[in-house]
């Protein structure tokens, strides 16, 4: 039914275009003829959803037909990502992919792999920030890591769920330096931050935005961020790299399409994503929401996804998460 309807539409559209529009190379494909559906694998109101809605809003000026945001939640992103992977590769159902698409496949939980997606553009990225209470004995990252070395398994580090990116960030650190932490999974970052505030755990590894309120109030201290460069919002916090640990790990969110999407459609989307991401309004909205703008064009983004996919695979195999 879907097919006949669509082909009818295409036929009508084609006739319409032939009759009214002067033929041009950009219009040859006529994409998009109807609104584009943007699948968000997480619930309304979360960081991923907010990025998607801000993007859809700003894209109005560049994509005539507009973008509709659809939340397909469940399974820590697995349900929505599966749907993006299985979507008809025609550019009418695209997805807001997150770092989970390079993680879930290694856990044996899903039928897709990172290769099933074609990155169009990265929109946002957040590094992992190792955060402790303000009255903690460790003033610097070095002191903290030294303590961890002397007391293996004693430091309790809260994360947003087993196998989630912040858990892997802690594991990557442990793996790199031969340390051992007691990882405590919570249902999301907020409960982990609460537990740290209440003194039930010693540290959390979550995104800087998730602790910024407490840091500004002087209740918590970020010891270091696993980013390439220092953050605009926290210029005093050193990166891990500066402190001698070569580690940059965090979440990212971007526009993805299924693998076999036609090149012209991908090209159109890439242009739209670039122009949208460069809109001042989009950047301002992200900033207001405490999200870091991190546009990266499709090809470079694809390299990053590929590299991280390999890193995660190796790491998850080593720590026994891979199946």
Partner 1 sequence: MDNLHLLWGGVQTLATHPTAILLSIFGVAAGIVIGALPGLTATMGVAILLPFTFSMDPVSGLLMISGVFFGGIYGGSIPAILLRIPGTPAAAATAIDGYALAQKGQAGLALGVATISSFIGGTLSVLILIFLAPILAGFALKFSASETFALAVFGLSIIASISGDSLVKGLIAGFAGLLVASIGLDPMGGFPRFTAGYTELFTVPFIPVMIGLFAAAEVFKSMEEGELRARAMAQIGRLLPSWPQLRGLTGTLLRSSGLGAFIGAIPGAGADIAAYVSYNEARRFSRTPENFGKGEIAAISACEAGGNACTGGALMTMMTLGIPGDAVTAVMMGALVVQGLQPGPLLFTDHAELVFTLLAGMLFCYLVLLALGLGSLRFIGRVLMMPRSVLMPLVLLLCVVGAYAINNSVFDIGIMLAAGVVGYFMQRWGFPASPVVLALIMGPMAEASFRRALSLSNGSYDFLWTRPITVALLALAAVTLLLPLLRRRKGGGPGGTPEALPATAAGKE
Chain residues in the site for partner 1 (CB under 8 A): 43-46, 49-50, 53-54, 57, 70-76, 78-79, 82, 107, 109-110, 153, 156, 161-163, 182-187, 190-191, 193-195, 197-201, 212-214, 216-217, 219, 285, 288-290, 321
The alpha carbon of 95 is separated from its chain's Cα centroid by a whole number of angstroms, namely 12
The alpha carbon of 292 is separated from its chain's Cα centroid by a whole number of angstroms, namely 11
CB of 16 to partner 1, least distance (A): 31
Q: Of the two residues 17 and 233, which places its CB atom closer to partner 1 in the complex?
A: 233
- Greatest Cα pair distance, the chain, in angstroms, is 77
Buried b (16+ CB within 10 A) or exposed e, 49-77: bbbbbbbbbbbeebbeeebebebbbeebb
Q: Of the two residues 55 and 256, which places its CB atom closer to partner 1 in the complex?
A: 55
CB of 256 to partner 1, least distance (A): 17
Q: Of the two residues 27 and 190, which places its CB atom closer to partner 1 in the complex?
A: 190
Which tokens hold the place of 51?
A: 């990025």
CB of 72 to partner 1, least distance (A): 6
Going by C-alpha positions, the residue among 216, 162, 5, 179 that lies closest to residue 92 is 5
CB of 214 to partner 1, least distance (A): 6
Q: Of the two residues 204 and 296, which places its CB atom closer to partner 1 in the complex?
A: 204
* Secondary structure in 3-state letters for 118-155: EEEEEEEEEECEEEEECCCCCCCHHHHHHHHHHCCCCC
CB of 104 to partner 1, least distance (A): 9
Torsions phi, psi for 12 (to 5 deg): -60, -45
CB of 37 to partner 1, least distance (A): 10
Q: Of the two residues 71 and 239, which places its CB atom closer to partner 1 in the complex?
A: 71
d(CA 194, CA 192): 5
Q: Of the two residues 207 and 214, which places its CB atom closer to partner 1 in the complex?
A: 214
């Amino acid at each position: 039914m879907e097919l006949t309807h669509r082909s009818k539409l295409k036929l009508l559209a084609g006739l319409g275009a032939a009759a009214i529009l002067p033929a041009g190379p950009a219009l040859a494909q006529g994409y998009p003829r109807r609104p584009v559906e943007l699948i968000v694998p997480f619930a309304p109101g979360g960081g991923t959803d907010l990025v998607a809605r801000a993007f859809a809003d700003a894209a109005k000026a560049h994509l005539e037909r507009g973008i509709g945001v659809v939340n397909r939640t469940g399974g820590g992103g697995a349900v929505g990502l599966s749907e993006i992977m299985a979507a008809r590769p025609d550019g009418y159902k695209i997805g807001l992919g997150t770092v989970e698409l390079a993680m879930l496949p290694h856990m044996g939980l899903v039928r897709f792999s990172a290769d099933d997606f074609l990155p169009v553009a990265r929109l946002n990225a957040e590094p992992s920030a190792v955060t402790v209470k303000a009255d903690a004995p460790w003033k610097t990252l070095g002191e903290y890591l030294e303590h961890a070395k002397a007391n293996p398994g004693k430091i309790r580090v809260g994360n947003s769920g087993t196998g989630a990116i912040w858990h892997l960030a802690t594991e990557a650190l442990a793996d790199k330096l031969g340390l051992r932490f007691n990882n405590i999974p919570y249902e999301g970052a907020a409960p982990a931050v609460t537990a740290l505030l209440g003194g039930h755990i010693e540290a959390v590894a979550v995104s800087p935005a998730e602790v910024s309120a407490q840091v500004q109030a002087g209740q918590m201290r970020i010891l270091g961020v696993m980013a390439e460069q220092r953050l605009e919002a926290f210029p005093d916090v050193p990166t891990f790299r500066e402190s001698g640990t070569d580690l940059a790990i965090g979440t990212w969110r971007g526009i993805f399409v299924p693998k076999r999407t036609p090149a012209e459609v991908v090209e159109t989307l890439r242009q739209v994503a670039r122009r949208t991401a460069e809109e001042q309004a989009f950047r301002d909205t992200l900033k207001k929401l405490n999200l870091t703008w991190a546009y990266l064009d499709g090809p470079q983004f694809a390299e990053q996804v590929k590299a991280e996919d390999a890193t995660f695979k190796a790491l998850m195999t080593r720590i026994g998460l891979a199946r």
